[in-house]
Chain A
């Protein structure tokens, strides 16, 4: 594989470090590229890059302090959000376990076993992301795949998620956890609740994972390359 132009590599690093977006970001990158190539013609690419300053220094000089600090910590903020969301999901799971026990359903166990690897990967990735260990980023990519698979299983729902919903239907039909049903028939109420859980939890998990993945990988949309006009 041919080695990449150091100026292109620098511009990719600068694009990742910049905390501005849209046309302003494109203009900064275009000006930086023109400057670096102009300087490289006189002094070489390595010196041009050295004289321009590190991507972090240059990026920080374009951004006000507080916003810069918050953006710089986005990976840790996302990791904390992920951990908070996992902690917040424990009480509903305990409540569901209690409801299912009342109708002698043990469907939650296989579903939790199915979810366990995803939870372990999420915990490990978030913990490592808080310490900014590179493995946290690799695990975040694996986590994204696992969450998508979980969403595919939960949304229709397929086994083992379907067993949990069947048990939940049975529990509501027997008058367990009918506080929010109002005057609705238990079967209708159970279907409504199950749909809300499937859609809200699935979309929430996908959105949170997408945010987490973006934050820890520092992903940026690909830079549009512009051909250098030839010198006359």
Chain B
């Protein structure tokens, strides 16, 4: 899937991944790819600006961690991030239902 297909949704997708627990950037991107069945295969470096924006918005917090023997920046979702994710989920489900109602079931289904 093209990178611009995620325009405006990337931050919500990242919050969705982060809701499962703290992770470093590389792992976040792996989870995004795995959970989308490989559909969200973005240039990995372009995911970091979104992580930084979420952190600046108070939805993620991060800190350097060396526990595994490798120094990594680990991100975790905040209370504010959970609240934003819940709101985004609800809006997406409403939008998705509305689009489904208009377009109908695929032909032959």
Contacts and interface: CB of A to CB of B under 8 A. Distances in A.
B49 interface: yes
Contacts, number: 64
B96 interface: no
Contacts of B49: 61-62
| Most chain B beta carbons < 10 A, residue from A31, A32, A39, A231 | A31
Contact of A35 (B44, B68, B69): B44
B44 A51 contact: yes
A23 to B, nearest CB: 12
B45 A52 contact: yes
The number of chain B residues touching the other chain, given as a range, is 10 to 19
Contacts of A14: 45
Contacts of A51: 43-44
Contacts of B46: 53, 57-58, 61
B89 interface: no
Interface string A38-81: 11000000000001111001100110000000000000000000
19 contacts: A14-B45, A27-B73, A28-B48, A31-B25, A34-B24, A34-B73, A38-B26, A51-B43, A52-B43, A52-B45, A58-B45, A61-B45, A61-B49, A228-B70, A229-B69, A229-B71, A230-B69, A231-B70, A232-B69
